[in-house]
Amino acid sequence: FPVTILNLPIANWPEPQRIEALRLKAQASVFAKLGEQAESSILEALKLQPNTPDWWILLGDNYQQNFADRQKDALDAYQKALALSGSSRGWQRFASALAIAQHHTDEAHGEAALETLRPLESLPDLAPVWRIKIVRGVAHALASLGKNTEALAKFREALALEKPFITTFSCSYRDWE
């Protein structure tokens, strides 16, 4: 864990290097539960790149993980990231939508979670990892609404989607003998 990155004097660095240093500082600070320091780095980066969804997702993650009283701010940051991502098929769109849905599910607003995830669930040719996460998110939202039969069906769907990966990558200790 590179603690020294947290104290680097980067204010006069060229922008590309400063952006990367801010990313590293912010990510390390979020991970280390240094929420205020992470927020400072992220807000500085947002002054330079206000339309970059990655920064908004990281800001949301910081609020969600490090500030119990800033969950609304986390939701706002994730919504900004989703809006900036538009209809792209990049990770930012899916990560922000899943974070929004998780927030709604945690707040017992399952319908809002479903409203966020349903358009993504039906996308054709979605990468398996995202499809699995989205189907699981739908299952959690349905469970939060007390729709246990539907939720169980979605959890089973997610497990069925995972099965090829589990059998491909699973092995026993005997495989190493």
> Can you give the pLDDT at residue 99?
96
Q: Read off the pTM.
A: 0.84
Q: Is the pLDDT of residue 6 over 80?
A: no
- Which residue has 């995202």 as its token pair? 130
Question: What tens digit of pLDDT does each residue of 127-173 get?
Answer: 999 999 999 999 999 999 999 999 999 999 999 998 877 655 555 54
88: left (phi over 0), alpha (psi -120 to 50) or beta: beta
Supply φ then ψ for residue 52, to 5 degrees.
-100, 110
